Structure 1
């Protein structure tokens, strides 16, 4: 048998092995789901189940018992830009229950004709709310680089701790967006207090 025919046979075997591996990998996902359904393990979302007695499409999931539906807190969103660029929240306020997961989008656009890097720092009013305002996802303290005219949106996913004092009915979440490399600005509350002190 010539070397050429041996090589051709070897290539054929390798092609069959590669095709078998691809088919096996492709079949893993439905196989994994089927095994999980049979054994009842690794069910991350009850909404995905469509079995008798389970939570299928249109079925109501158990309520989150940590949500305090007896209280409503108004969360106001503020945006301050230290420089010539656009920065704003998608909504100016929303009402949430303590313990309820909520999301607000912030939009930033570099209106300059040069690339820039910037980041944001948050502040809260009243100050006591800071310890009870839990952000699960936030763009704050991360540095972002935007090209001239580039626009981006970032989510803030948060939960207000039900242990927040019942006297607090409104919380203001304020962000100050500033260019990296410049002087870090004071949070809006401190800047306002400093201005008031200077005018006194």
Structure 2
């Protein structure tokens, strides 16, 4: 074999080896990316953050709470929808005493001629009120499936912990409703 043929053979061997290594790295990166979602959920469950599927407080804990009749907190309700849904609270605000159990209703309307699966994500303002706003029952704990052109009324049962700092006089509860599993034909039209 001549020197030039040996070099060509070595180059091809090197290129083949490099191609295999790059393929393995790309496959590993894809696998890692695919595994991130369940890893993220497991970590959040262990740490107790970003947990939307569990109650904040049990009915037994609610019965053991004292109502603070010395002060009133104003609760404002907000609703946003991403996708083909109309979403709103049935009342915009209410006043309560910390420790009182309250129920408010939200309404969601599927304006599409197709089934829609969606999930509501809550947020609170001011941020420091988050740990004191306890939901007992909420539509945000589960995914919602709405039939074509269906309207649903959904409750939120909650209590504001009497340990809420005295300087917090107003809490805003805001939900954003997101469509899940958007059909490809719909997603292409967006």
Q: Where on the TM-score scale, by shorter chain, does this alignment land: which range?
A: 0.5 to 0.7
What residue number does 2:145 align with? 145
User: How many Å separate the matches in 1 of 2:65 and 2:74?
Assistant: 21
For structure 2, list consecutive stretches of 5 or more residues without a partner in the other structure.
1-63, 183-190
CA-CA distance at 1:152 after TM superposition: 0.7
Mapped to 2, the partners of 1:132 and 1:113 lie a distance apart of 40
Structure number with the higher strand fraction is: 2
Question: Structure 1 residues 138, 100: CA separation in 2 closer, same or farther (over 3 Å shift)?
Answer: same
Q: TM-score, normalised by structure 1?
A: 0.58
User: Aligned partners of 2:73, 2:112: CA distance in 1, in Å?
Assistant: 37
SS of 2:140's equivalent in the other structure is coil
Q: Distance in 1 between matches of 2:176 and 2:65?
A: 35
Please report how far the alpha carbon of residue 85 of structure 1 lies from its aligned counterpart in structure 2 after TM superposition: 1.6
Q: Which position in structure 2 is the counterpart of 1:124?
A: 124
Query: What is the match of residue 99 of structure 1?
Result: 99
SS state at 2:129 partner? helix
Equivalences for 1:18-57 in 2 at 5 Å? none
Kindly state the Cα deviation for residue 65 of structure 1 after the two structures are TM-superposed.
7.4
The CA distance in 2 between the partners of 1:126 and 1:94, in whole Å, is: 17
Q: Distance in 1 between matches of 2:144 and 2:84?
A: 16
Which residue number corresponds to residue 73 of structure 1?
73
Equivalenced residues, count: 119
What is the match of residue 83 of structure 1? 83
Aligned equivalents of 2:97, 2:141: Cα separation in 1: 27
Matches within 5 A, 1:105-120: 105-120=105-120
Q: Distance in 1 between matches of 2:143 and 2:180?
A: 8
SS of equivalent to 1:128: helix
After superposition, the C-alpha distances for 1:75-123 in whole angstroms (9 at most, x for unaligned) are: 0000000012210001000000000010100111100111110010000
Structure 2 vs 1, CA of residues 65 and 81 (structure 1 numbering), >3 Å: closer, same or farther? closer
Give the match for residue 167 of structure 1: 167
User: Helix, strand or coil: the match of 2:111?
Assistant: coil
Q: 1: CA distance between counterparts of 2:158 and 2:145?
A: 24
| Bigger helix share | 2
Question: RMSD of aligned C-alpha atoms?
Answer: 1.3
